[in-house]
A and B are shown apart, each in its own frame.
Chain A
Amino acid sequence: MPLLEIIQLKKSYAAPDGGTHTVVDVPEFKLEAQAQVALSGESGSGKTTFLNLIAGILAPDAGSIKLNGLELAGLRESARDRVRATTIGYIFQTFNLLQGYTALENVLLGMSFGPGEDRELAKALLKRVGLDAKLNHLPRQLSTGQQQRVAVARALANRPKLVLADEPTGNLDHANAGESLKLIREACRENGAALLLVSHDREVLGQFESVQQLGILNRAAK
């Protein structure tokens, strides 16, 4: 049984002209446990909406999203929050670190809504990404690359089965992007998490054995 199985997934938004604008229309998508898959997609291909649907941040209009055997599509928002807190790690293009929290506190928050805080694990994750000397630094006291590594540690803090990464190297320079991607992939592997990454960067996509075109996968993509 795949870790993630999507069937006939649809999501639309109200259009300015009063009609509806379909953003996601994915007939089928599967992701095996511990697999690492990249989705290529340009702007407007619906990749962020697709990831937000999988994460349970958005509710689909139709279709099925089965994650780890659990149907997300019919769940209430609070239940989807619970699934996200316990099963999914999310790495954002803009990292989305909480600016008032230290690196350690950001990672602790990543686990506090799910399995509960484990200070030692949080420290170990930050050590794994090379930030054991920056535990009490605020995001503004870290470089962009270091902030990205905190985001990686936070995404793994709740021991997720699936890590979603939305253009994770989009804000990094060339050297940092390669190093960061390697870190994300290794960290997911070490933690037994599957990785679903979306990017439009050919160099990033070239690192993956399995790359799918979101433009083909998503019938609503322009």
Chain B
Amino acid sequence: MTLPLIVAKSLRQHLLSTVVTAASIALAGGLLMAVWVVKTQSNDAFTKQNAGFDAVLGARSAKLQLVLNAIFHLEASPGNLPWTDYEDIAKNAAVALALPIAVGDNYHGYRLVGTTTNLFAVEHAPGRKYRVAEGEPFAAGYMEAVLGSFAARQLKLKVGDKFHPYHGLNFDEKQKHEELYVVTGILEPSNTPADRVIWIPLEGIQNMKGHDAKSAAEISAVLVKLKNPIAGRGLELMYNKQGNRLTFAWPIAQVVAELFGKIAWFDRVLELVAWLVAAVATGSVLASIYNSMNERRRDIAILRALGARAHTIFLAVVLECAAIAVLGMVAAFAVYLGITTVAAGIIRAETGVVLEPLAWHPILAWAPAAMIGLSALAGVIPAVKAYRTNVAENLVPVS
């Protein structure tokens, strides 16, 4: 009882410095956990995200650009390919399903992707197909659209609403197309990039007024589902090594992993910054307690005069530092949730990839343990000073 009481009283007596120091621990701890979780979850989410496909076939380009454009609906299309290329790969014995897509228009920044109704037969996750939750699928050849759930929510469009597409992948109000599309359905949330897309019939993009006439017989890419994922090796050899006109991006996870490999240095810089902030915060615990040692001397001397052992005082100071870190790390979870929620919102809005701030990650246990341990360790320095306090000198003036 005595030791916790001494610690609690001291924390209360130095309330302002306790709050300020705990706040710095909270910010540092929250940042550390958030950086780690966002980094690992986004890495996992992107590399596991294939929207239900094994590979992408497109115009000759970097595989990453092809995947970002066709799967994540980011980046510009590297170019078009003739419809016959779609027909060829669709007929290939190794291919279970081939889905042609065409891009080039948007509605208020949300990309229009032309495709066939085969989209609704694709399993984006085991046992889960792209399902229309409200309304019905678009009909081939009609100016109808099915919106991804996120796009529908952001655009405030509902079944029966009509809209004019805009030319290009970026919104420019001067680039309005004449065609008027009607929303026939809203997709069930899939937590894939498809949620951010406005899906329309392939012919819609191909025949949109103002588009190049030759694009009527072209597509932007083909999304490929293989009967056996290993079969991708043969197709990769055929398109990438033996041919020089097309690119077969396979396997998608590896292509995305290469992206993360290229920006791994950035992750390490972020980690380093987070650790430095954590080190500065634990240093602030040391500075805060150490600087208050002069005003604590009298209290320490009184406690010693009452019979408190020097090691009890030592332990009280170390525990006080640890207690500040405990208070800080409790608040750090609020900081962590704040940062990850904002980051998850931005990542979802920009890529459709969903992060889960509430999901368990080991950093959520060992970051608090590390911060509390480091703070207690930092407390050893002022604790030694407290241990060495001269009782007689600080108790009363020697007569």
Are A98 and B302 in contact (CB-based, < 8 A)?
yes
CB distance from B2 to the nearest CB of A (A): 4
Q: Knowing that A57-B395, A58-B392, A100-B12 touch, tell me 15 more A-B residue pairs with CB under 8 angstroms.
A: A43-B399, A45-B399, A55-B305, A81-B309, A84-B305, A85-B306, A85-B307, A85-B308, A92-B395, A92-B396, A98-B9, A98-B299, A99-B299, A112-B2, A113-B312
The answer to the question of A114 belonging to the interface, with a C-beta cut-off of 8 Å to chain B, is: yes
Nearest 4 pairs between A and B by C-beta?
Answer: A85-B307, A113-B307, A112-B2, A100-B13
Known: A57-B395, A166-B396. A113 touches B309 (CB 8 A): yes
CB distance from B57 to the nearest CB of A (A): 74
The answer to the question of A49 belonging to the interface, with a C-beta cut-off of 8 Å to chain B, is: yes
Are B2 and A48 in contact (CB-based, < 8 A)?
no
Known: A48-B398, A57-B395, A166-B396. A117 touches B2 (CB 8 A): yes
CB distance from A91 to the nearest CB of B (A): 11
Are B307 and A82 in contact (CB-based, < 8 A)?
yes
Known: A93-B396, A96-B396. A109 touches B13 (CB 8 A): no
In the assembled complex, the Cα of A55 lies from the Cα of B305 at a distance in Å of: 8
The answer to the question of B303 belonging to the interface, with a C-beta cut-off of 8 Å to chain A, is: yes
Residues of B within 8 A of A158 (CB): 307
Are B1 and A112 in contact (CB-based, < 8 A)?
yes
The answer to the question of A143 belonging to the interface, with a C-beta cut-off of 8 Å to chain B, is: no
Are B305 and A109 in contact (CB-based, < 8 A)?
no
Are A57 and B392 in contact (CB-based, < 8 A)?
yes
Residues of A within 8 A of B301 (CB): 96
The answer to the question of A176 belonging to the interface, with a C-beta cut-off of 8 Å to chain B, is: no
Residues of A within 8 A of B10 (CB): 100
Are A113 and B392 in contact (CB-based, < 8 A)?
no
The answer to the question of A69 belonging to the interface, with a C-beta cut-off of 8 Å to chain B, is: no
Are A78 and B311 in contact (CB-based, < 8 A)?
yes
A138-165 contact mask (Cβ, 8 Å, vs B): 1 or 0 = 0000000000000000100010000000
B277-306 contact mask (Cβ, 8 Å, vs A): 1 or 0 = 000000000000000000000110111111
CB distance from B323 to the nearest CB of A (A): 15
The answer to the question of B310 belonging to the interface, with a C-beta cut-off of 8 Å to chain A, is: yes
Query: Size band of the B side of the interface?
Result: 20 to 34
The answer to the question of A29 belonging to the interface, with a C-beta cut-off of 8 Å to chain B, is: no
Residues of B within 8 A of A84 (CB): 305-307
A72-95 contact mask (Cβ, 8 Å, vs B): 1 or 0 = 000001100110111000101110
Are B307 and A101 in contact (CB-based, < 8 A)?
no
The answer to the question of B339 belonging to the interface, with a C-beta cut-off of 8 Å to chain A, is: no
In the assembled complex, the Cα of A158 lies from the Cα of B298 at a distance in Å of: 21
In the assembled complex, the Cα of A112 lies from the Cα of B299 at a distance in Å of: 16
Known: A98-B302, A100-B9, A100-B13. A49 touches B398 (CB 8 A): yes
Residues of A within 8 A of B397 (CB): 48
Residues of A within 8 A of B365 (CB): none
* Pairs A–B under 8 Å by Cβ, sample size 10: A52-B392, A57-B395, A84-B307, A85-B307, A93-B396, A98-B302, A100-B12, A100-B299, A101-B9, A109-B303
The answer to the question of B391 belonging to the interface, with a C-beta cut-off of 8 Å to chain A, is: yes
Are B396 and A94 in contact (CB-based, < 8 A)?
yes
The answer to the question of B5 belonging to the interface, with a C-beta cut-off of 8 Å to chain A, is: yes
In the assembled complex, the Cα of A114 lies from the Cα of B305 at a distance in Å of: 12
